[in-house]
Structure 1
């Protein structure tokens, strides 16, 4: 077994078990490593790890089909302001941001407990839609309010064939491990420089904590 195959198998096994995986996208794209969880496995302790050890924006990526079913738009299409009229992302054609939400049973929405509740309820919603239950925008609005503190991301319609972001890489992991298309992604930042955590430091963090680390190109080669 090659070392690449071994890394991928370990990452998939961990993700299937609800454990986090570190995914580095591509040096010629964002050049970032994200800490990625299956959304349904996120606990308040996991949220604490995401904000303390990763430090980026805690988001839940859902598939394009689920987003369509519950009427989740691309955020830039909903903002009536000149700032949203055009963008110049250096790493992609468009942002995958949809609505930021809180579950209606949360208080402020920002605490570890509140964000974990919102995240796991989003995962439950995705499972409901995937099961073919009649669940649309009104049902979504009965459970979630916007704006909130958990950013929802829309996956590209054809996944990795359309876009090579952490959104699609995480959703590809979910599909490969027979989990609902709902994953948490959060960028890992360097406390000293304030920049993206280097791949060397991300690998060391993974080794120190016993988490798998995988390169985006490995996932694309195996899963696209």
Structure 2
């Protein structure tokens, strides 16, 4: 299932959702709004306001009417400038929400928990004139580290908060708070429609933000193309795409004519030296060569080899198989290849891939690599 395909509830209530351009304008005016994600992700709505506009009244509204955890989304660069360590060394949360240690303004606060104190902490954290010396830890504001590349890399409220603030011309940071109902359960989209009317707030979706940015932003560029011959599958066209956020090069191998109609056989593969070269770790050895041979036998298809900007050479996984993948950069590359319908080569057909429809992509089926070999 792809993240941008509206679920049945969202489709039914589409008329209550504002275009993302209106949400950006709300942010530009310093007004609060609601951002919701897909029914198959966190399935929640957050109150969002650009951090520059997050005064004591806004913080108090979130605490009173949002009831969730009040957090501050910050770009990775600012997290590094403030020297804030991550809350967990190994993030095993389902959606990899990147909490740092909690913070407080070092000067001008009393207990730190009041709406005014938290607003001052937010203002201090986003002030470019302030440094790590102006921040104390722990505190009562919870920073979240946004991924470089925003919602095109990770489709979360953290990245969305930074993206909308930036697109509105503000410092790329927002204060966000999950919306809970009075009984303590999470408010879902049907609840949020009435909630938004009561409080005169507009509702936007992260899906629409991804689509907006995919139309207007470009994070990957093709930097090389050549013909290569491999032991696995013979002749390929090799194209290199560079991620402008990190400067990382990703490799695409193309077999045959992928411009003709019909689904294209595709293997997306996260390169990892320990697994792919040494056979270490939980991934079965031989997946990549076998996938290349299967595509060669088909006579038409694509292998996408994605590289992480930084990772340990060997880091054992202890969280079990992943069931949700954020696919922003990969989707951009596949879209640039002119692909639309994909038939995936995978031994994990239950995996959910997020963030495809905004790029005109859909998964129409899967084929095994090693399980039926």
Is TM (by shorter chain) over 0.5? yes
Residue from 146, 162, 173 that aligns with 1:155 = 146
**Which residue does the alignment assign to 1:58?**
70
**8 Å CA contact 1:40, 1:124 repeated in 2:** no
5+ residue gaps, structure 1: 78-84, 129-134
Paired residues of 2:30 and 2:49 also in contact (CA < 8 A)? yes
1:100–1:151 Cα contact (<8 Å) kept:
yes
In structure 1, what is the Cα distance between the partners aligned to 2:32 and 2:197?
13
Question: 1:102-128: CA deviations, max 9, x gaps?
Answer: 101211100111111111222224xx4
* TM-aligned CA deviation for residue 43 of structure 1: 1.4
Task: Confirm or deny: 8 A CA contact 2:46 2:176 kept in the other structure.
Answer: yes
In the alignment, the residues of structure 2 paired with residue 100 and residue 52 of structure 1 have an alpha-carbon distance, to the nearest angstrom, of 21
- Report the Cα offset of residue 71 of structure 1: 2.1
Aligned equivalent of 1:41: 53
- Give the structure 1 partner of residue 204 of structure 2: 214
Range with greater deviation from structure 2 (205-214 or 41-50): 205-214
Please tell me whether residue 189 in structure 1 is matched to residue 187 in structure 2: no
If the length of structure 2 is used for normalisation, what is the TM-score? 0.51
Mapped partners of 1:65, 1:54: distance in 2: 28
Larger relative CO (CA 8 A, sep 6+): 1 or 2?
1
Q: Secondary structure at the match of 1:97?
A: coil
Q: Secondary structure at the match of 2:143?
A: strand
For the Cα contact (< 8 Å) 2:45–2:192, is it kept in 1?
A: yes
SS in 2 for 1:102: strand
Moved over 6 A (4+): 2-5
Cα distance in structure 1, aligned partners of 2:124 and 2:191? 33
> Quick one: distance in 2 between partners of 1:178 and 1:114?
25
Distance 1:45 1:113 in 2: 8
2:136 to 136, 141, 145: 145
Report the counterpart of residue 32 of structure 2 in structure 1.
Answer: 20
Q: Which of the pair is proportionally richer in strand?
A: 2
TM-score calculated relative to the size of structure 1: 0.83
For residue 188 of structure 2, the aligned residue among 198, 210, 222 is 198
Q: Distance in 2 between matches of 1:214 and 1:161?
A: 17
Aligned position for 1:110:
113
Instruction: Give the CA RMSD over aligned residues.
Output: 2.0
Once residues 30 and 5 of structure 1 are traced to their aligned partners in structure 2, the CA distance between those partners, rounded to angstroms, is 18
Change (3 A) 1:154 1:201: same
Is the Cα contact below 8 Å between 2:48 and 2:174 reproduced in 1? yes
Aligned to 2:213: 223
Other-structure match for 2:167: 176
